[in-house]
Amino acid sequence: MESMKSKPREATGSDLSEQIKAATKDSHVRAENTQLMLNYQKGQITQTQYKLLLCSLYEIYRALEAELDRNADHPAVQPIYFPQELARLETLELDLEHFFGPHWRKRITVPAATHKYTQRLREIGKNSPNLLVAHAYTRYLGDLSGGQVLGKITQKSLGLSGNKGVFFFSFPGVTSANRFKQLYRSRMNSIELTEQQRREVLDEATRAFEFNIEVFDDLQKMLSITEEASSGKGNDVTSKTQSKTFSSSPALQFALGVGITLATVGMGVYAF
């Protein structure tokens, strides 16, 4: 299906896709070396963490895809608008229902960091649709690149069989990930932007990575504190940190899952 939209062309150093790679290179390296990223690659994920991962991803993609749908005819969005091939919302709903049951929507909880990210997506969708290009590119091509590997890691770690619980990682509308990524880059590179608009898109791509890195750092600290608390140490530090960051222990538990969430998303992004 994707082959009907456009014929890929080779990227050059002046292409937007290449410029995004160059602009976010340092952020790539920093995020790849977070402990959370390494943990996920080692298969150190529990079902609780994965379920919370799905909650966070659902909120992020609910915001992103709502804004892409709303701006589908915008000159900067139309070329990279592939809902049949890339949309993740329905797959996340299937996975959430698998783990939480038919009333899963009542159990969705989102931490401050994810809420901040969704707010940004809705803000630019309303005021600066050009910037959606940066988020769509880094998220979708990242998930597409790392999806197969991440899906297998998750299945093995949690003892899942078939696609149940891991629909998020499959892209049935994409017959060849490599060919589709070439097509997507070609379509994105065809978007007409002024120099100022191009700089803003590059800045937004970097900003998206920085959102993730900030949460990586915060959650690594939270993980360390939680480990101390579980062994009977650092109770005073835990109490102070919880009062500053979260209002309840369930929120703290959610934060631990979000760490894996961001590591999961990041692992795909760094492969594009």
Q: Which residues are annotated as a binding site for heme b?
A: 21, 28, 137, 185
Radius of gyration of the chain (CA): 19
**CB 19, CB 248: distance < 8 Å:** no
Inter-CA distances, 220 with 41, 234, 255, Å: 16, 15, 10
CA within 13 Å, CB half, 27: 23
Query: What H or E segment, with its residue span, contains residue 176?
Result: none
> Residue positions in the annotated binding site?
21, 28, 137, 185
- At residue 176, φ and ψ (nearest 5 deg) are -140, 115
Q: Which residues contact 135 (CB under 8 A, 6 or more apart)?
A: 64, 121, 124, 204, 205, 208
CA within 13 Å, CB half, 175: 4
The closest of 9, 40, 26, 46 to 183, measured between CA atoms, is 9
Helix, strand and coil in the chain, % to nearest 5: 75, 0, 25
